[in-house]
Amino acid sequence: MAKLYIKIYPNPVLRKKARHVGKLGDDERKLAYGMIEAMRSASGVGLAAPQVGISKRIIVVENVDNDKKAALVLINPRITRKKGNVNFCEGCLSLPGISSDVARPEFITVEALNLDGDILKINADGLLARIIQHETDHLDGILFIDKIGFLKRRKIIKQLGAKVCMKF
Ligand code: NI
């Protein structure tokens, strides 16, 4: 697969609801490995397929709870349990230079398939839970800036606008 490039807000693919993956094959495998490479070369800890312009329900997540750093590939992830509420500073590779505190559930259970088609059920908290929720949101076209207050969001969007203006 050709090298993958990260799509930057306001690219419309970031707002599309991604398609369920029905069959796992070479395309999905190559996509997942390409996404892990793109995530790592951008020094990110998670990436969703829409962020590389592919509207499929696949996310990759750095396994921050595991020293071996084997990234998790989650296909058709669904968050089936949420508990608690905690604020944490988030950023996003599709919103470069922007970060904000975002409130989310602290504990989650996520169910997904891995690349072999096995069913995974993962209980997560802390940073891992945070990343999984952020990336799963991307599959529904939701960005972290949608989860913060209106005034703060307006300020951030202004900042993003200013960045775009400076670039051109
Ligand atoms: Ni993101």
Asked if 18 and 135 count as a contact pair (C-beta separation under 8 A), the reply is: no
In a domain, 59, yes or no: yes
12: pLDDT confidence band, cut at 50, 70 and 90? very high
In a domain, 6, yes or no: no
User: 59 lies in which domain range?
Assistant: 12-160
Where is average pLDDT lowest: 2-6, 13-17, 59-63?
Answer: 2-6
Name the active-site residue from 28, 62, 90, 135.
135
Give the whole-number percent of the chain exceeding pLDDT 90. 80
- Domains held by the chain: number: 1
Q: Say how many Å lie between the CA of residue 142 and the centre of ligand 1.
A: 9
Q: What is the pLDDT, as a whole number, of residue 152?
A: 85
In a domain, 24, yes or no: yes
Q: Would you call 62 a catalytic residue per the annotation?
A: no
**pLDDT tens, 116-132?**
999 999 999 999 999 99
